[in-house]
Structure 1
Amino acid sequence: MDTQLADLLLTPAEMTAVDAAAASSGIDSFGLMLRAGAGVAAAFLRHYPSARRAVVLCGPGNNGGDGYVAARCLADSGVAVALFHLGDAARLTGDAARARSHWSGVGAPIEDYRPADGDVVIDALFGAGLTRAVPEAVGAVIGRIADAGLPVLAVDLPSGNDGRTGMVLGAAFSAARTITFMTRKPGHLLMPGRELSGVLEVLDIGIPARIVRGQASGTLAENRPDAWRRWLPSSEQETHKYKRGHLVVFSGEKGKTGAARMSAMSGLKAGAGLVTIVSPDDAMAENATHLTAVMLHGIDGDAELSDWLKDDRLRSFVLGPGFGAGQKARGFVAALSRRHLVLDADGITSFRDDPNALFSLFAEGETRLVLTPHEGEFSRLFPDIAADPSLGKADKALAAAARANAAIVYKGPDTVIASPHGRALINTNAPIWLATAGSGDVLAGIVGALMAQGLPAFEAAAAGVYLHGEAGSRAGKGLTAEDLVSHVLPL
């Protein structure tokens, strides 16, 4: 399998277009189904050699056709097979009907299936193309199989999981393994689809790469270094601290300074040449006690900030971690509206009553703003987008990015990074133990440091999320934010 092809993400609609283009080019579509079904059977034999019975659940479309082929291959290999179909199997058409005609065994309505010890279930009901809630009968079977704790091998995508959004459509199988064909779908990476898919295997069934690539829009992809590597600064022997950029992080008031220091230290570790913490006067001594490599500058109000910003070398800023929400934050953001800014935490919350006041500040020109909301903060800035049940997480992030003219880092176990120009990346390298207090402060500092080094906002956000995930993996389980900072490395 072409690993680069396997790394693509195609939506179900794009994959349907691939199938149509393959058929138009003269490729036998039934031959593709035979390879798909045989691949599913091979995976069953490889991973479940001790199964007492293969239970194949066949749906009313081509996913069901794959199931009929797999059932025949398994029976020919001596495996006990029980096949159950959804709806009237006699009404199948096209390749699925042809696959059923090659199955010599009997079948029964899906409602008749009752789990038994030793069963391994092959889910060939719907796959990635489902767009509506599963029928009641399927939901009942999903529940019985889950209660019995039986392993499920899903064909293409666990039935009930939306291949475009990863969302559950009424009910969905939780598969131990999933076999998909040619490329992955967004639903394999977006939650909860990522967890429901179990171990994912991409099977090459013989569609030429040129056909697959020809239907890939490239709008949505996995967050991998290839997406942003060309923007990374080159390693030059004659570099110096100013070439590597100056990052500024704003501190909160006395007693609330730790978050800013974690952002600042992360920025320094991520490669910024200089890092300065801007501190209110009442917190200067507290910050000075804890800082060595990070510089410190005292500013209390808008006038002092505006005067300091006359220095054109000050290009990239982080505001929000521990800063406090309110008018002071809004005023500082307004002063920074022509610079590159990572707005996090309290900085985001400061605009919850009037998000458009924030968006208008950055509406013109290049993308200079990176927003890093978690679920709650996203809902405060984009309440209508967050509440739209027809949108998946990537859809929401893209809509938010376009509205704000910002790079959006929509945080979570399936963090999505979106550009206002219609690109989105799904991050997959972050371990679950990154969900700890202060982790977001570290991320903000990393992204700010990358912008200080010259990366555009979207690429800095994507690279920063990836670097953050790598640091979390190095730090290991039980990490604290302080541990995470110490494991940040430059790209």
Structure 2
Amino acid sequence: MRLPRPEILLTPNEISHVDAAAIASGLIGSMLMRCAGEAVAASALRHYPAARRFPVFCGPGNNGGDGYVAATALVRCGADVRVFALGDPDRLSGDARIARESWAGPVESLEAYMPHAGDVVIDALFGAGLARDVPDIVRLVIDKVAETGAPVLAVDLPSGIDGATGKIRGAAFRADRSVTFVERKPGHVLLPGRSHCGTVEVFDIGIPRRIVLAEAGKFRVNGPALFQAFRRALSAEDHKYRRGHLTVFSGPAISTGAARLSAGAALKAGAGLVTLASPSDALAANGAHLTAVMLAPIDTLADVENWLIDQRRNSFVLGPGFASRDKARSYALAIARNGRRLVLDADGISAFADNANALQSAFAGSSGHLVITPHEGEFTRLFPEIAKSEEGKVEKALAAARAIGGIVVYKGADTVIASPDGHAAVEEKAPATLATAGSGDVLAGIIGANLSNGMPAFEAACAGVHQHGQAAGRSGEGLTAEDLVSHVLPA
């Protein structure tokens, strides 16, 4: 069976290289621009047949060139079009100049734009390559369009969105639709850019896929195509240990729920055996709520070392509701010394605050044995210097992964999974209902189950994040973490 291809995300630099390589291969740049601009016109006519007028905002680069082609195509189809340019259109060069010269109508300054009833704005001011704040005049036009509520069709990305990071550069159009080319860009899936793009259409403008693959980096959209090949097939010869034994550490008697959520989720996600390692004072509290999850007393580091003697206990989750940072640190280091796989979450992450080097040293040489799952606050505590940088979320996650030599699941509505080798994926389909107490504990358990089943760490994390979001979708509105557990399925 042929597996689906992972969806590539092309950064602005990469799409520039794709364009250059396509032209070097013999394709004509102006023809590629014509294909792009006419795709924009086709989308405008298809989705806005009742538009009374199409104001086309053209910028000073190739994105503006796409706009001139779109305007020409729309007029050819009988539409009422007005073109408004940022800067002097006579200073355009290359393919954009050819596109400008194809437009036979007048070109007005962007400042001259006045909204009319029935306008559908085509935003071709800036594309994915924007890396500075938009000029004041563009801010004013963005505000003017927003006040009228006119629909916006963005060319490539809404102007004001940084194509590499999804950040807003001063101000940005909020588009109803975006038309992009070849592949989507990071700004389409990372927040806040994603919420400004509306429905995104991707058009093939004739660049061969071999060129795209040659120039693409290691950033992908998360989904089954990334991890399906690593799923462990069920077998009639399986037994519970062959499917993996996951140990989840519980906190003290007053904070046992988080670990039970992790353990329950792990069992639903396909771990063959899950044991809750509980302090003695919490055994009664945990035992009253457990059935299929096993229970074992673990009070000291010596108990952990004894537990690790059994090689079948191959994977661990440490941190949910754990409370004691000193214990968490010592337990994590013992797991590392014994060459086991660890998902470090919550209090387990905070146990290494400002000391990511200790994690890197502990897990050095054991590639794929560590996954950490920080939210924004935990990420900042563990990686204060990285968190302060002006880089985007993907770049921060990759820097953190290199700093610890493990997989980083940088949580949020646009969770990024990053590996020290430069691979990264972003989850775009997790519903907002996951913003509820205990949700992260469930995620840690799912990833732990995937590790116990033998998935490589990066794929285990990608699968876990996807399973988590899919479970939330099945749960519907009003979900609690307990509901979430009940809807978890194996990868």
Provide the TM-score with structure 2 as the length reference: 0.97
Deviation at 1:87, TM superposition (A): 0.4
**Is the Cα–Cα contact under 8 Å of residues 354 and 383 in structure 2 kept in the other structure?**
no
**Partner Cα separation in structure 2 for residue 201 and residue 6 of structure 1:** 17
Match of 1:350 in 2: 351
Uncovered stretches (5+) of structure 1, i.e. residues with no partner: none
Q: Does 2:253 match 1:243?
A: no
SS of the equivalent of 2:120 reads strand
**Is the Cα–Cα contact under 8 Å of residues 32 and 205 in structure 1 kept in the other structure?**
yes
Match of 1:260 in 2: 259
* Worse-superposed segment, 72-81 or 155-164: 72-81
**Partner Cα separation in structure 1 for residue 168 and residue 466 of structure 2:** 27
Which deviations, in whole Å up to 9, do the C-alpha atoms of 1:250-287 show, x marking residues without a partner? Answer: 11111211111110000000011100001111110011
SS of the equivalent of 1:118 reads coil
**Is the Cα–Cα contact under 8 Å of residues 166 and 191 in structure 2 kept in the other structure?**
yes
**Partner Cα separation in structure 1 for residue 5 and residue 287 of structure 2:** 52
Uncovered stretches (5+) of structure 2, i.e. residues with no partner: none
**Partner Cα separation in structure 2 for residue 10 and residue 463 of structure 1:** 22
Deviation at 1:103, TM superposition (A): 1.1
Residue type matched to 2:312 in 1? Answer: R
Deviation at 1:326, TM superposition (A): 2.1
SS of the equivalent of 1:8 reads coil
Match of 1:339 in 2: 340
Deviation at 1:4, TM superposition (A): 7.2
SS of the equivalent of 1:119 reads coil
Go from structure 1 to structure 2 and tell me whether the alpha carbon gap of 1:151 and 1:264 turns closer, same or farther (over 3 Å shift).
Answer: same
**Is the Cα–Cα contact under 8 Å of residues 6 and 221 in structure 2 kept in the other structure?**
no
Residue type matched to 1:289 in 2? Answer: A
**Partner Cα separation in structure 2 for residue 22 and residue 143 of structure 1:** 37
**Partner Cα separation in structure 1 for residue 87 and residue 160 of structure 2:** 17
Deviation at 1:325, TM superposition (A): 4.0
Which deviations, in whole Å up to 9, do the C-alpha atoms of 1:369-422 show, x marking residues without a partner? Answer: 110001111111111111101x11111111100110110000011100011111
Which deviations, in whole Å up to 9, do the C-alpha atoms of 1:127-150 show, x marking residues without a partner? Answer: 111121111111221122122222
Residue type matched to 1:284 in 2? Answer: L
Match of 1:96 in 2: 96
**Is the Cα–Cα contact under 8 Å of residues 260 and 276 in structure 2 kept in the other structure?**
yes
SS of the equivalent of 1:129 reads coil
**Partner Cα separation in structure 1 for residue 349 and residue 119 of structure 2:** 51
Which deviations, in whole Å up to 9, do the C-alpha atoms of 1:287-336 show, x marking residues without a partner? Answer: 11111101100111112221222111111010111111421211211221
Deviation at 1:214, TM superposition (A): 2.1
**Partner Cα separation in structure 2 for residue 71 and residue 316 of structure 1:** 59
Match of 1:43 in 2: 43
**Partner Cα separation in structure 1 for residue 388 and residue 39 of structure 2:** 40
**Partner Cα separation in structure 2 for residue 132 and residue 108 of structure 1:** 24
Deviation at 1:353, TM superposition (A): 4.3
**Is the Cα–Cα contact under 8 Å of residues 367 and 406 in structure 2 kept in the other structure?**
no
Q: Does 2:396 match 1:385?
A: no
The root-mean-square deviation of aligned C-alpha atoms, in Å, is 1.5
Deviation at 1:210, TM superposition (A): 2.0
**Partner Cα separation in structure 1 for residue 354 and residue 33 of structure 2:** 54
Match of 2:140 in 1: 140
Q: Does 2:377 match 1:376?
A: yes
Match of 2:407 in 1: 407
Go from structure 1 to structure 2 and tell me whether the alpha carbon gap of 1:314 and 1:351 turns closer, same or farther (over 3 Å shift).
Answer: same
Residue type matched to 1:71 in 2? Answer: A
Which deviations, in whole Å up to 9, do the C-alpha atoms of 1:111-170 show, x marking residues without a partner? Answer: 121223221110001111112111111122112212222211000111111111111112
Deviation at 1:92, TM superposition (A): 1.0
**Partner Cα separation in structure 2 for residue 460 and residue 5 of structure 1:** 18
Residue type matched to 2:434 in 1? Answer: L
**Partner Cα separation in structure 1 for residue 153 and residue 198 of structure 2:** 9
Which deviations, in whole Å up to 9, do the C-alpha atoms of 1:419-472 show, x marking residues without a partner? Answer: 111110111221111111111000000000111111121111111111111111
Match of 2:163 in 1: 163
**Partner Cα separation in structure 2 for residue 472 and residue 122 of structure 1:** 36
Deviation at 1:195, TM superposition (A): 1.2
**Partner Cα separation in structure 1 for residue 58 and residue 473 of structure 2:** 40
Go from structure 1 to structure 2 and tell me whether the alpha carbon gap of 1:425 and 1:294 turns closer, same or farther (over 3 Å shift).
Answer: same
SS of the equivalent of 2:128 reads helix
Provide the TM-score with structure 1 as the length reference: 0.97
**Partner Cα separation in structure 1 for residue 297 and residue 84 of structure 2:** 72
SS of the equivalent of 1:311 reads coil
Match of 1:445 in 2: 445
Match of 1:464 in 2: 464
5 Å-filtered alignment, 1:180-329, equals: 180-217=180-217, 219-329=218-328
**Is the Cα–Cα contact under 8 Å of residues 57 and 121 in structure 2 kept in the other structure?**
yes
SS of the equivalent of 2:408 reads strand
- Using the aligned pairs only, state the percent identity: 59
**Partner Cα separation in structure 2 for residue 98 and residue 407 of structure 1:** 47
**Is the Cα–Cα contact under 8 Å of residues 6 and 183 in structure 1 kept in the other structure?**
no
Go from structure 1 to structure 2 and tell me whether the alpha carbon gap of 1:341 and 1:380 turns closer, same or farther (over 3 Å shift).
Answer: same
SS of the equivalent of 1:200 reads strand
**Is the Cα–Cα contact under 8 Å of residues 178 and 198 in structure 1 kept in the other structure?**
yes
SS of the equivalent of 2:180 reads strand
